[in-house]
């Protein structure tokens, strides 16, 4: 009689857990330590904290000494990237002992900043297929030309250059989970980061499946004199070019005048 009651209890727990799983058995809340990065003349980079909490609802109460609910181990992936833009990649060839630009490609929809971090290496908890479909990782960035064709050689060069400039980064073990509920990740932004809208995506993975994706917005913008110069250069490029040339000539003449006086 006791054995039948225990079997019935296990069956009831499975049904209840199945109902939770069909809906949403977890809730993910994330945020940034700040949502605006202001770039001024003194800007030398910034570090932000991305943090969050996982609420499991009734899952903990289901567990007992005799019954263990599987799937309470989680992994977290954090992806921060800037809005996509178009870039021109030039290929250099050596001609008569001199390196010159011989070919170029226009690459569409490339993020100027891309950083991905996770609790552990992605291959340990997420399939290659899912990584590709979700565009997770530098190798899964879609780098195509005007015809929509993947250009591997230019893609490798772009990623290599962006890594060297500190604008692309891929790492694991840098997302920390505490008490299986709270998590945090430190985000480093270099001084040469592009301005514009950024997104911080957090993926919650359980049993090798992404079950929740939460997005937080971040704005990187110039302030003060930098903002005025930036707007003027983009709104009136011919006038900006003329002013730059005049300033360069003026500085050159002034430097020559001072040098003559000193001599």
Neighbours of 23 (CB within 10 A): 8
Please choose, from the candidates 222, 216, 215, the residue with its C-alpha nearest in 3D space to the C-alpha of residue 35.
Answer: 216
Neighbours of 230 (CB within 10 A): 15
Q: What are the pLDDT tens digits along the chain (263 aa)?
A: 544 444 444 344 333 444 444 445 678 889 999 999 988 878 889 999 999 998 876 444 434 344 333 345 789 999 999 999 888 877 766 666 676 666 777 888 889 999 999 999 999 999 999 999 999 999 999 887 777 676 777 888 889 999 999 999 999 999 988 877 889 999 999 999 999 999 999 999 988 999 999 999 999 988 655 555 666 566 777 766 787 788 778 777 767 766 666 66
Is residue 235 exposed (0-12), middle (13-18) or buried (19+ Cβ within 10 Å)? exposed
Whole-model pTM: value is 0.71
């Amino acid at each position: 009689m006791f054995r039948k009651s225990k079997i019935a209890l296990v069956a009831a727990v499975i049904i209840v857990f199945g109902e939770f799983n069909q809906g949403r058995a977890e809730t993910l809340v994330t945020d940034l330590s700040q949502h605006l990065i202001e770039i001024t003349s003194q800007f030398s980079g910034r570090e932000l904290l991305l943090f969050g909490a996982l609420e499991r609802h009734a899952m903990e109460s289901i567990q007992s000494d005799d019954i263990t609910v599987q799937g309470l181990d989680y992994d977290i992936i954090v992806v921060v990237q800037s809005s996509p833009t178009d870039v021109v990649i030039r290929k250099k060839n050596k001609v008569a002992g001199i390196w010159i630009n011989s070919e170029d490609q226009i690459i569409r929809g490339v993020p100027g900043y891309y950083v991905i971090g996770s609790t552990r290496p992605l291959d340990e908890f997420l399939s290659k297929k899912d990584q590709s479909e979700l565009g997770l990782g530098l190798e899964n960035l879609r780098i195509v030309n005007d015809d929509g064709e993947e250009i591997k050689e230019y893609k490798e060069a772009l990623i290599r250059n962006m890594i060297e400039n500190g604008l692309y980064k891929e790492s694991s073990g840098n997302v920390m989970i505490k008490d299986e509920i709270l998590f945090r990740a430190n985000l480093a932004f270099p001084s040469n980061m592009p301005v514009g809208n950024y997104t911080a995506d957090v993926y919650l993975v359980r049993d090798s499946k992404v079950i929740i994706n939460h997005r937080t917005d971040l704005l990187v913008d110039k302030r003060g004199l930098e903002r005025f110069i930036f707007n003027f250069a983009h709104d009136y490029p011919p006038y900006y070019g003329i002013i730059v040339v005049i300033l360069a000539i003026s500085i050159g003449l002034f430097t020559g005048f001072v040098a003559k006086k000193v001599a």
